[in-house]
Amino acid sequence: MYEYEYTTVVGEGVSVTKYREHREIIDRRAKEGWRYAGWVPSHISGGDIVQFDLIFEREV
């Protein structure tokens, strides 16, 4: 069985959304024993994904 945790990443910028922290979050969570499992958009505005959740899992 697995447990899951979600971390929200918010983009920066007006016309072009930029993400800066996602790689650091994935690396940090891996050191804590979590495996990156995927992502899901959590807020879309004007056709751009401006916020998404990173999904992490580990065995219980």
Range of the domain at 12: 2-59
Overall domain count for the chain: 1
3-class secondary structure per residue, 3-24? EEEEEEEECECCCCCECCCHHH
4 — pLDDT class (breaks 50, 70, 90): very high
Query: What is the pLDDT averaged over residues 33-58?
Result: 94
**pLDDT at residue 14 is higher than 70:** no
pLDDT at res. 48: 85
